[in-house]
Structure 1
Amino acid sequence: MPWPPARSPGARRPEREYEKVAAPKKGRSASAQSRPGRSLALILIAIAALTGGMFVSGHPTPRLGIDLAGGTSITLTAKNEPGQPNAINKTNMDTAVDIMNRRVNGLGVSEAEVQTQGSDNIIVNIPKGTNSKQAREQVGTTAKLYFRPVLATQASGSDASASPSPSASSSSSGNANDKASSSSSPSSSATPSATATSQGRAVTDALKADSTPSASSSASASPSSSASPSPSGSVDPATAKLQAAYAALDCTDKAVRAKTGEGVKPTDPTVACGKNSSGQWQKYVLGPAEVSGTDIKKAAAVFDTQSAAGWKVTMDFTSSGSKKFADITGKLAKNQTPQNQFAIVLDGEVVSDPYVNQALTGGNAEISGSFSQTEAQDLANMLKYGALPLTFKESSVTTVTAALGGEQLHAGLIAGAIGLGLVVIYLVIYYRGLSMIAIPSLLVSGALTYVLMALLGPTIGFALNLPAVCGAIVAIGITADSFIVFFERIRDEIREGRSLRPAVERAWPRARRTILVSDFVSFLAAAVLFIVTVGKVQGFAFTLGLTTLLDVVVVFLFTKPLMTILARRKFFASGHSWSGLDPKRLGAKPPLRRTRRPSAPVDTKEA
C-alpha cells in the first residue's frame, strides 16, 4: 500500500463538503434543544388553565372603563372652612384627592378617576356598575378623624365569645410587641379592677404602637358577678345594642366594614374595624371621641437618628387639642391593656391603636414602633386628613354614556384589524412558509393578552379603557418585530452556507439577546410612563408593559420551539422555494470545497 503523498509545509487540510453540527452541551440548554415539545406543551397547558380560570371566575370578558362602559361623573368644588381663608391650595387639594381615592377604592370601584381640575375643583369619574348614590355620599363627605379610647378588642372571625360587659377585670400576657385583647365596659368611664397591672413598654413622652392596629388572636372574658351597671343587674338598652353590634361584627366582610361608623355621633361609643400587624382584621369597641382630627396642627414621618429606633410619626396639637390630649392620655395611662390604648379612627376605620403609659402634656407626641418608611408616611398622611381645612360642594353630577367611547372603540378595533391584516400579508409575502410560525405566535400572544385582561379585572381591579386598547394594538408591532429578528438571524446563517438545523441553533443566541434588549427598553418605557402619569394614560402603560412581558414568554416558549420542530421537516430543511429559507433566493454562499493540488514534477538538477 503506497504511502500518502507528503504535504508541503504550510499546506491547508482539505475541508469536507458538509458542516458538522456541534452536539449541544449537557444541561437545560440541551434539553430545550432536544425536546422543544415540552416548551410547547407548557405554554398550551398554561393557556388552557388560564382560560378555564377565566370562565370559573365568572368574568369571561375584560372589565370596561368609564369611557367604554359609561358611568357617573361628579364635580366637587372646594370651600374654605371658617377662619381658614387660604386653605384652598395645591397641597390640600392633593390630600383631598388621596382621601377620595381611598374612599372610592373602599367601595370596590376600579378604574375610577379622581383628579383636580383648575385650582378648586375635583372631578370623580366612577364606572358603571357602582352604586352612584353611595359613591356621591362618600366622596362628598369631609374626612372625619377622631381619637377614641379602646374599650375592647379581639380578632374578627375568631371563636372567642368575648363581648363588652359593664365592667370586668382583665389581665394580659405577651411580649413587648404584642397587645392582648380583653373585654371591658362599653363606656368611657370604665376602669379595671384594683389588681390590674399595666402592660407594655415604658416610654417617656411618647406613644408606643405597632405600625398597624394589633391584638392577640383571641380574647376571653366573662363578666364577674359584681360587674353590673346597676343594682338590679340589668343592662341599659344602649349598652345591650352595643354588645350585640360587637358580637355580630365581622370585619372580614367588606360590606359590613363599609357600614361601620355610619350615623355615629362623636359623643357616642361605637364599634369599628382595623387591621393588625399580621394583616388580619381586628374589631373594637370604642368610647366617645376625646380628640378630633382638627385638633392636630401637623403630623410628619421622621427617622429617629439619635436612638436609631427607626421611623416614627410626630404630632403637634393646637392649644385646645393639647389640653384634650393631655386629659385623655392621663386617664388612659392608669388603665390596663387594652384600656390604655386609644384608636385613631378615620372614616370609621381604625388606622392605628397606640397605647400610653403616662399623660402627654407638651402639646406634641410621637407614635413609634416597628414602622417602615412607607407605613410611617401613610399614618402621617392619615393624621393630616382630619386636619384638612376644606369642605366640598357638589357642583354637578353627569351620567356618562358609553356611546362615544363605543364608537371610538369600534374605530380602534377596525384600525387594529387592518394593521394586523397588513402584518399578516407582509409575513406571507416576504417570509412565505415562516409565516406558519409567526401567525400562530401572534394568535397565542393575543389569546394570553385577552385571558389575562379578563382575569385581572376581578383580581386587581383592572378595567379596559381606550388607551389600554391602543397599548394592545401597539403590542402587535412589538411582537412581530421579535419574530422578524429571529427569522433574519436564521437567514443570515443560511447565507453563510449553513444548513437549516445548525442555522437555527446558531441564530438563536444572538436573536435572543436582541429580543431581550428591545423588550427591556419597551418595558422600561411603559413602567416609567405608568409611574409618572395618572388616569387613563396608566391604562396604556399597563397594557404595553403586560404585552411586552408576554412577548418574551411567547418567543421563548412557543416561537423558538416551533421553529426547532419545523426545521426537521423536509419542506423547510430542503430549502423549498416557498419555505422562506431557499438558499438560492437568499444568495447563500456555496460550501467551501477544496482539494489538494497535484504536486508538480520536480526536475532533477544536475550538479
Structure 2
Amino acid sequence: MVSNFRVAGAWKRFAWLAVIFGVLIGGNAWSVWLEGGSWTPKLALDLQGGTQIILAPQLAEGQTVTEEQLNQAVAIIRQRVDAGGVAEAEVTTQGGANIVVAIPGTPDPATLERIRSSAKLEFRPVLQTTFVAEEAPAEGPASFNPYDEPLPERIPESASDLAWITPAIDRAYNELSCEQLDGLGSNVADPERPLVICSSDGFSKFVLGPVEVGGETIQDAISGLVPGPQGTVTTEWGVFLEFDEAGTEGFRSVTQRLVGLDGVQNQFAIVLDGRVISAPRTLAAITDGRPQISGSFTQESAETLADQLKFGALPIGFEVQSAETITATLGLSQLQSGLLAGAIGLVLVVVYSLFQYRVLGFVTVFSLTTAFALTYLLITYLSNSQGYRLSLAGVAGLIVAIGITADSFIVLFERIRDELRDGRVVGSAISAAWKRAFRTIVASDAVSFLAAAVLFILAVGNVRGFAFTLGLTTIVDLIIVALFTHPLMQVLGRTRFFGEGHPLSGLDPKALGAVYRGRAKFRDPVDVAPVARKKSAQEAKRRQTIAERKAAEEASALEGKKK
C-alpha cells in the first residue's frame, strides 16, 4: 500500500511538471501567433547588433552641461530603458556632453520617446488662455524673446497674480505661434518667471505663472484607468501621482488658493516637456498629495509617462542627434563557441555519471534534458513577453548551471546509496534519502540564488545577464529535482532491474559495501574485494554511538586484562 501511494504521488508530480510545460508552450504559441513572437530567444547587442542613438543636450544660451547632470541622465535613461522591457542595453557618455544609447534590434517609437523625452514636469497656475483655431504657419523664428524683458515693476503677491503678464509676455501671447514659442525654449524656461506656452495638441495657448510644484517632488507614479464620478471604471487612461512631503505641502497650499479664484485663474496647468498636457479646474483642495493627470492618453502613452515620472525627470533636455545601425560586437561565432563549450561540459557530465552510477546515470541525462527544455521555454517566453535578450554572458550562466544541476542529482544518488548501506530496500532508501537530500539541495541552491540576486542588483550591463540566467536556472534546478528526478526514482525503484539491485543499476547493495543492521553491527559483504571490506570496517566504526564506542573500549580493555 505504501509503495502504491508513493508511485501515485510520483505521477502527480509528473502531472504538475506537465502543467508547467503546457503553460509555457501555450504562452509562447500565443506570442508567436498573435503578437509576432518567435520560438527562439532574442539575442542581445553583443550577438545580434542593434541601433545606436546619440543624444545631444538642449541648452539655453550660455548654459553648460556638468558631469553630474550627465551621470544622472545616464542613470535615469538606463532605468527607463529597462522599464520598457529592453534588456541588455548599453548607456554611456561621449565627449563630456552627449549620451550614447545602444539598443539590441530596432527600437520602436515608444522606446525612442522614453529615451529622449526629458519628462520635465511642472505645475503652474493659469493666468490667461485662449483657443487657437487655425494657426498660420510660422515664418521663421520669433523676432523677439519676451523672457529677456525685465520682471514686473510691482512684485506679484503670488504665482496667480496677473501682474506677471508684462507687455512683452502679452505681445508673445498674441503674436507668436506655437512653433515659435517652442523655439524660444519652453522646455528650459526659468521656473521663477511666467511662461507663454501651447497645449500638446496645439489647439490652446496659455500664459502661466511661475512653477509652484516641480516634478522632482514626485515619489511614485502609476498608470491606470481614471475612475468615474460614482467610482465606476471608465475607459480613459491617466497617471496617478504620489508626492513626497514637500510636494504634498506645496500642492495643498496651491490648490487651497486656487479654489477661491474665478475664471481661468482657477485652473492649474500640468506642463510636460514644454507643453501643457492638461489644465484642470480646481474644485477642491488636494491635501493628500495624490493627484491624477488625465487627458488624451492611450494605455501605452500613460505607461510611458508613469515610468518617466517614476524614475525622475532628466536634469536637462536631449534631442536625437543621430541614430544608426551597429553590428554585433561578438557575433554568432562566439555564440557557437559558447554553445560548443556547454556541449562539451554536458558530455563530460554524462560520461562521468554513466561511469560512476552505471544505468542510474541515465536519470541524470533525462533530468538534464528536461531542465534544458524548461529553461529554453522560460527564456523564450521572457523574450517574447518581457523583451529579454540572451547575451554571451547569459549563455555562460546557462553553462555554469549544468554543474549546479548535476550536483543536485549527485547529492540525491549518494544519499540513496547511504541508505542502501544502512540495510534498507531500494524503495525505502529512495524515500528516506529524499528527505535528507532535498534539504541539502535547497540550501545549496539558496546560496547560488542569493549570489545571483546580489550580482543582478549591484551589477550593470552584461554581468546582469549572467546573474539573471544563473538565478533562473537555479530555480529550474529545484523544479526538476522535485517534480522529475525524485518521482522518476520512485517509479524506477518499483522495477525489478533497480528494485533488486542489478549490478549495472548503480544500486547494488553488494557492490556498495557492508550493510548496516543497527547498533553498529554490519553484515560482511559477500564477494567483495578486500579494499571494500576495509571500508566497511571503517564505516562500522564511524557509525558507532558514544555509548557503543565506550562499550567497545571497555570490552577491548577487559579482553586485554584477560590476556
Q: TM-score range by the shorter chain?
A: 0.5 to 0.7
- The alignment yields a C-alpha RMSD, in angstroms, of 4.9
Question: CA offsets per residue over residues 81-100 of structure 1, 9 Å max, x none?
Answer: 55555x5133x224312543
| Map of 1:290 onto structure 2 | 208
Equivalenced residue count is 423
CA contact (8 A) 1:428 1:435 kept: yes
Cα pair distance change 1:329/1:587, threshold 3 Å: same
SS of structure 2 residue aligned to 1:122: strand
Cα pair distance change 1:554/1:330, threshold 3 Å: same
Alignment partner of 2:44 out of 44, 62, 65: 65
Q: d(CA) in 2 for partners of 1:95 and 1:427?
A: 52
Cα pair distance change 1:106/1:548, threshold 3 Å: closer
Q: Does 1:74 align with 2:53?
A: yes
CA contact (8 A) 2:87 2:389 kept: yes
| Map of 2:27 onto structure 1 | 53
CA contact (8 A) 1:468 1:540 kept: yes
Q: 1:290 corresponds to which letter in structure 2?
A: L
Q: 1:425 corresponds to which letter in structure 2?
A: V
| Map of 1:269 onto structure 2 | 199
Question: CA offsets per residue over residues 445-504 of structure 1, 9 Å max, x none?
Answer: 111111111111232221111111111111111111110100000011112222211111
| Map of 2:357 onto structure 1 | 431
Q: 1:514 corresponds to which letter in structure 2?
A: T
Q: Does 1:145 align with 2:124?
A: no
Q: Does 1:130 align with 2:107?
A: yes
Q: d(CA) in 2 for partners of 1:383 and 1:580?
A: 58
Q: TM-score, normalised by structure 2?
A: 0.62
Question: CA offsets per residue over residues 493-548 of structure 1, 9 Å max, x none?
Answer: 11222221111111111101000101111111111111111222111111111111
CA contact (8 A) 2:267 2:279 kept: no
Q: d(CA) in 1 for partners of 2:274 and 2:89?
A: 19
Q: 2:504 corresponds to which letter in structure 1?
A: W
Cα pair distance change 1:415/1:108, threshold 3 Å: closer
Alignment partner of 2:410 out of 481, 484, 488: 484
CA contact (8 A) 2:123 2:269 kept: yes
Cα pair distance change 1:100/1:590, threshold 3 Å: closer
CA contact (8 A) 1:467 1:540 kept: yes
SS of structure 1 residue aligned to 2:51: strand
Structure number with the higher helix fraction is 2
Question: CA offsets per residue over residues 288-330 of structure 1, 9 Å max, x none?
Answer: 372577995974769xxxxxxx97342599xxxx9xx999996
CA contact (8 A) 2:51 2:105 kept: yes
1:419-498 → structure 2 map (5 Å cutoff): 419-498=345-424
Could you tell me which runs of 5 or more consecutive residues in structure 1 were left unpaired when the two chains were aligned.
1-21, 25-29, 151-183, 189-204, 207-260, 273-284, 303-309, 359-364, 372-377, 595-607
CA contact (8 A) 1:315 1:366 kept: no
Compute the displacement of 1:369 (Å): 3.5
Cα pair distance change 1:369/1:590, threshold 3 Å: closer
CA contact (8 A) 2:255 2:282 kept: no
Could you tell me which runs of 5 or more consecutive residues in structure 2 were left unpaired when the two chains were aligned.
33-37, 134-157, 160-185, 188-194, 221-241, 293-304, 524-563
| Map of 2:246 onto structure 1 | 314
Q: Does 1:334 align with 2:312?
A: no
Q: 2:406 corresponds to which letter in structure 1?
A: A
1:327-476 → structure 2 map (5 Å cutoff): 333-334=260-261, 340-346=267-273, 355=282, 368-369=289-290, 382=309, 388=315, 390=316, 399-402=325-328, 404-476=330-402
Q: d(CA) in 2 for partners of 1:593 and 1:451?
A: 49
Cα pair distance change 1:369/1:386, threshold 3 Å: closer
Q: d(CA) in 1 for partners of 2:274 and 2:398?
A: 39
| Map of 2:238 onto structure 1 | none
CA contact (8 A) 2:423 2:516 kept: yes
